[in-house]
A and B are shown apart, each in its own frame.
Chain A
Amino acid sequence: MIGLLPVLVLLPLAAAAALALLRPTDAQTARWSALVVSLSTLAISLYATYELSQARPLRTTDPVAPRYELRQTWMTVPRLGDAPDVRLEFYLGLDGVSALLISLTAILTTTAILLSWNRIREGRTAYFACILALESGLIGSFCAFDLLLFYVCFEFTLIPIFFLIGIWGGQERRRAAGRFVLFTLCGSLATLGGILALGAAAAERWNLATPFSIPDVAAAVAIDPLPFALQVGLMLAIGLGFAVKIPLVPFHTWQPLTYVEAPTAVTVLLSGTVLKMGAYGLFRICMPLLPDAVESIGVPIVATLSVIGIVYGALCALSQSDMKRLVAYSSLSHLGFVTLGLFALNVEGTTGGVLQMINHGLSTGAIFLFVGMIEQRYGTRDLGRFGGLATRLPALAVCMIFVCFASAGLPMLNGFVGEYLSLSGMFARNPAYAIVGASGVVLGAWYLLTLIQRTFFGPVREPQTEGPPPPDLRLREFAAAFPLMALCLAIGLYPKPLTDLIQPDVDRVVRLYDFNPVTPQVASAETAEESDDR
C-alpha cells in the first residue's frame, strides 16, 4: 500500500517524459499509452481509496494524521546556532480527503484524455505528455504532507498548464497562458514566503527537526499555538496564493479568460482539480496550522469573499451569452460553497466543503465537457444561435440537463448534499453568511435553467455547419462522461461512504475549533519530543 504512493505520483510523470521523447507523428501510440497510464493511475487510486476505507481508524488525536505515510529525507537545511539541522522531506501520505481528491484527479484526467482523443490536431504527443505531467503534479500536491513538497507540486503544475493553454488554446491563448501563470505565480510566491516563515517559526519555537512536516507542526500547534500576530501574517501570506488559485473574488480576474481560451479538456481539469489545490491548501495548511488566525480573521474574510463570489459569479453567469464563459462564472459561484463550508469550522460545514470539492469537480467538469461537445459540433458557443437542440441531439440534451441539475443542487443529486451541508454548517457559525450564500443556490438554478432552456428547448435553431448534420452523443464521448454522471447520482443518493472516509480527518481538524477544546493531558515538552521521534 505504502509503495503505491510514489507510484501514483511518478507513474504519470515517467509516462509524460517517455511521451515527450516520442516523435510527433506517433499520435496513435501517444493517446493509447496516455489512456492506459491514466486508467492504471485511476485503478491504483481507487484501490488505495478502498484500502483506506477498510483500514482501522488511527487513534491519535493529532489534527493532521495521514493513515499511510512514506518519509524520505530530501535535504537537510541548517539552522543557525547549536540546534540540530532541519530536514526537508519527501513526505507522501494518504488520508480520506487526499484519497478522494486523488481519485477525482485520476477520473478527470481519464475524462480529459478521452475528450481530447480526436480534438487535438497537432503535437498530440506533447499534449498528452503535458496532461500526464499535470496529473502527476496534482496527485503530488494532494498527497504531500510536507509544506515544501506541497509547494513544489503546487508550482510544478504551472509548467504543463502554461503549455496546454498557450499551445492548444483558442484565439487569445498566449495572453491567457501568460496571465494565468503570472497571476498564480505572484500569488504563490507570497505562499512560499509564508511557508518558509512558518517553517522557520516552527523550528525556532518547538525545536522541531522537521518543521515543514504538516502533521508534526500541527501536533505542536495544537498544544502551543504561535503568537496571534504571527499567525495572522502567515495566514494572509499563505492564503494569498490559495485565494488566487481558488479563486476568491478580487483575485479571480484571470479565470474567465483562462477558462474560455483553454482547450475544453484542460478547462475540465482546471475547474475540476487544479483549483481544488487552493481549497485543499486552505484545509490542509491554514486550518490545522494557524487555528487562531483562521478563526478570528480567516472566517470573516474568507466567508465574506465566498458569499460575494457566490452572488457575483451567479449574476455574471446570468448575463453571459457565451456558454463557456457562463459555466466559468458558474464555477466561480459554486466554488464559493466549498470555501464557505470549509470555513464553517464545524464537522458539518467542513465535511460539506470537502464533499463539495469533489462534487464541484464532477458536475462542473461534466458541464464543461458537454459545452465542449456542443462547441465541437457547431463551432460556436454563442447562446443566441442555439435553440431546440433537444430534438436534434436528444441523448446529449438529456446528459447535459442531468449534470446541470446536479450542479444546481437538485435533491438526490450530489450538489444538494454538499451545498446543504456547507450552508447548514455555516448557519451554525454565522447565519448571515449562510443566508446570503443560499441566494446563490436560487440564482444558480436560474442561470443553469436558462442555459438549458435557451439551448435545448423552443424552436429549433442551429448554426450552419458544413457536411452531414452533427451526430448525437458518440460512444467515446459517453464513456468520458458516464463515470462523472454516475458518481453525481451515486453521491446524491448515498453519500455515506464518502462522508465516512473524510469524517475522521475533518473531525481531527475541527476539534481545534471546538467550543470546548480538548485539553492535552501531556506536558508540552514531552509531546514535542514525541513529535521529534515520529
Chain B
Amino acid sequence: MTRFIIRRLGEALIVLAVMSFVVYGLINLMPGDPLDLMIASNPGWTAADITKLRAIYGLDQPMVVRYWHWLTAALQGDFGYSRVFTLPVTRVMGPALLQTTKLMGLAFLCTLLVSLGFGIAASLKPGSRLDRLINFIAFAGISLPVFWLALLLIFVFAVWLGWLPASGMGTIGGGGGFFDSLKYLVLPVITLSLSQIGNLTRFTRASMIETMRMDYIRTARAKGAGPARVVWRHALRNALIPVVTVLALNFGSLFSGALITETMFGQRGMGKMIYDAVLGNDFNLALIGLLFASLLTLVATILADIAYAVLDPRISLS
C-alpha cells in the first residue's frame, strides 16, 4: 500500500510539472500583459519607459526562460507576487483557500449524507411513491442550472423571507464570529450541493438495487438476518464501492466548478480568484491557483483508488 501511494504521488508530481509548463504557456499566449494595467493608469509613460519597465520585470525574455525563473523560485517556496491584488500570492491564496475549503467541505458533506440517504431509501422499495419522489428531486437537481438556482434561493430566502443573507461572507464590520459566517454559507452550500445530489442519489440507488439482487443477500436472509442487518451489514458496503469512486472523482471537480456559485454569493473563494487572475493576466496567481486545482484532482484520484481497494478485498493495489 505505501509503495502504491509513493508511486502515485510521484506520478502526480510529474503531471503537475508538465501542467505548470502547459498552463504557463497558455496564459502567456493570451493577449495582454501584466503591465497593461499599469500602462493604462499611467498615460504619461513613453515607449522607452515601457521598454525599460519590461526589462525590469523580465517580460522581454523568451517564455521558456521566464518559466524557468518561475519554476526555480517556486520550488524554493517563492510563489511570486500577485499583480492584480498587489500582494504576495500566498497572502492572496490563503484566505481564498480557507473560504473555498469551508464551502466545499460543507457542500461535500451535505451531498454525501443526503445522496446516500435518499439513494438507499429509494432503493429499498423501487417504484414506490417515496422512490418516485426522490427520483423527481434528483432529476430536478441534475436539470437546474446552477446560476438560476442561486438566484431563486436568494430571492426566496434572502429577499422574500429575509431569513438568510443574500451574499457575502460575514457581517460587515466584523465581530460576527463563527456562527455568523455559517449563516452566510447556507445558501451557497445548498446551491452547490443540489446539482451534485441529483447524480449521486441516482447512482447510489442503482448500485443498491443491483447489490440487493445478489445471491449473498439471499444467503443473509436465509440465515435469519433482519432487513436492517441485511441493508447495513451486507448490502451497503458492496453498494458503496462504485459510489465512493464516483464521489472521490467528483471531489476534484467540486473545487474548480464552484466559480458561478462563488460569484453569485460574493464568496471570495478560489474559483473567483482564479477567474480574476486569468482575466487580469496575473501569471503568478493564475498559475498557482490552477496548479492547486490540478493537485486536488490528482489527490482525489489517488484517494479514490485507495478507497476502492480498502472497501473491496478483491482489489489489490500491486
Query: Do A and B assemble together?
Result: no
Residues of B whose CB lies within 8 Å of any CB of A are: none
Residues of A whose CB lies within 8 Å of any CB of B are: none
